[in-house]
């Protein structure tokens, strides 16, 4: 099965990449965009989707500083 | 007294670490695929870009066979020093609390920094005075130390906040200006600046970094006596 894992910095932890993008948008004329956060996307085929959470906890994300969401793509 | 210096694909500071360790004792390299730590009395996890820093710095190196042995070595009380990428590896391995995030300035920054010794009673700083300033180079893109407030309070109370950047030196945005921390037991220590590059005044800007390696030698010898 195909799965998608979205990983993003935890709320409240400074996200310098998000800040940099947020500052760059107005410079290109895009006004009104805020609260920008930059994360990571991992897509993978898995035989046993029950293992996904453990994969996230142990390797794909660092739960101390990142939140993750698992989405099954069917 | 023998240091074992790990070497991963992508390490780049292991030879300087080896040479620095040899000023304090014997030292040998340990290839990442090797589970045998060669009878080392203390381990150095060096700087660089282990496994290309893919996913997160240190995230993949943490699962190497040599690191599995280092985790057991640390659990038995062995001294483990992590420098820069080595610090990141030790955090990923949960041998040290917290995590290292991208620099707040978003840049790879290379400069000499002054750090202050907040705790000189432990095995990695016993050759330093309390409050002593060490001049050591730092060079990294992911050196912003972070731990949650409860963890930081416990670390502060337990003498685990060993080094902090002197005023005006915290270029990476580390919480509480933290430059180096140890675990609760005190036998695992990580720092972002590079003591192995500051062992010779002629080329290192200072020889202050040698005090970390000397402290480790003194600690191993004291434990034997």
Count how many Cα atoms sit within 13 Å of the Cα of residue B76 in the half-sphere of its side chain. 10
Contact: A16, B105; criterion CB under 8 Å:
yes
d(CA B123, CA B221): 11
Residue in A44, A21, A65 with CA at minimum distance from that of residue B57:
A65
Q: Which CA distances in Å does A65 have to A40, A44, B3, B75, B189?
A: 13, 22, 32, 25, 21
d(CA B23, CA B199): 8
The mean pLDDT value for B174-203 works out to 97
CA of A41 vs chain B CAs: smallest distance (Å): 11
CA of B98 vs chain A CAs: smallest distance (Å): 7
Which residues lie across from B30 on neighbouring strands?
A: B6
For residue B225, what pLDDT band results from cuts at 50, 70 and 90?
A: confident
Strand blocks (E) in A1-74:
2-9, 40-45, 66-72
Residue B121: its pLDDT value, please?
A: 86
Residue B8: its pLDDT value, please?
A: 96
B176 — contact with chain A (CB < 8 Å)?
no
Nearest by CB to residue A14, choosing from B104, B147, B148, is: B104
> Has residue A30 got a pLDDT over 90?
yes
Residue in B110, B77, B93 with CA at minimum distance from that of residue B6:
B93
Question: Could you tell me how many residues make up chain B?
Answer: 225
For residue A3, what pLDDT band results from cuts at 50, 70 and 90?
A: very high
Residue in A14, A10, A24 with CA at minimum distance from that of residue A65:
A10
B44-92 pLDDT, tens per residue?
999 999 998 999 999 999 999 999 999 999 999 999 999 999 999 999 9
> Has residue B216 got a pLDDT over 80?
yes
Contact: A16, B104; criterion CB under 8 Å:
yes
Question: pTM here?
Answer: 0.94
Q: What is the DSSP letter of A43?
A: E
d(CA B40, CA B34): 13
Do residues B58 and B92 lie in contact, with contact meaning Cβ atoms separated by under 8 Å?
yes
A20 — contact with chain B (CB < 8 Å)?
yes
Question: Could you tell me how many residues make up chain A?
Answer: 74
Residues whose CB falls within 8 Å of the CB of residue B69, separated by 6 or more in sequence, listed in order: B35, B36, B37
Phi, psi at A2, each rounded to 5°: -90, 135
Tell me which of A15, A41, A62 to substitute to probe the interface with B (most B C-beta atoms closer than 10 Å): A62
Residue B205: its pLDDT value, please?
A: 83
For chain B, count helices (H), then strands (E).
Answer: 6, 11
Which of B91, B116, B169, B194 is flagged as catalytic?
B194
Contact: B59, A62; criterion CB under 8 Å:
yes
B14 in catalytic set: no
């Amino acid at each position: 099965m195909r799965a998608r894992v979205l990983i993003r910095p935890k709320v409240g932890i400074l996200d310098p990449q998000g800040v940099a993008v947020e500052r760059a948008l107005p410079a290109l004329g895009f006004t009104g965009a805020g609260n920008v956060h930059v994360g990571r996307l991992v897509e993978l085929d898995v035989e046993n989707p029950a293992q996904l959470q453990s994969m996230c906890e142990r390797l794909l994300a660092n739960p101390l500083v990142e939140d993750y969401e698992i989405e099954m793509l069917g | 007294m023998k240091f074992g210096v790990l070497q991963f694909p992508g390490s780049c500071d292991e030879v300087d670490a080896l040479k620095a360790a040899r000023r304090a004792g014997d030292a040998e390299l340990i290839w990442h695929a090797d589970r045998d730590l060669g009878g080392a009395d203390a381990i150095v996890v060096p700087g660089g870009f282990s496994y290309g820093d893919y996913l997160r710095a240190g995230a993949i190196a943490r699962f190497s066979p040599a690191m599995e042995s280092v985790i057991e070595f640390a659990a038995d009380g062995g001294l483990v020093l992590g420098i820069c990428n080595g610090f990141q590896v030790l955090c990923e391995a949960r041998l040290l609390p917290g995590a290292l995030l991208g620099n707040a300035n978003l840049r790879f920054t290379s400069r000499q920094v002054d750090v202050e010794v907040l705790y000189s009673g432990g095995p990695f700083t016993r050759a330093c005075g309390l409050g002593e300033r060490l001049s050591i180079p730092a060079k990294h893109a992911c050196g912003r130390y972070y731990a949650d407030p409860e963890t930081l309070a416990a670390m502060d109370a337990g003498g685990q906040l060993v080094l902090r950047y002197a005023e005006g030196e915290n270029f990476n945005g580390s919480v509480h200006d933290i430059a180096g921390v140890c675990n609760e037991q005190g036998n695992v220590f990580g720092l972002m600046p590079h003591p192995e590059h500051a062992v010779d005044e002629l080329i290192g800007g200072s020889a202050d970094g040698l005090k970390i390696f000397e402290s480790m030698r003194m600690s191993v010898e004291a434990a034997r006596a």
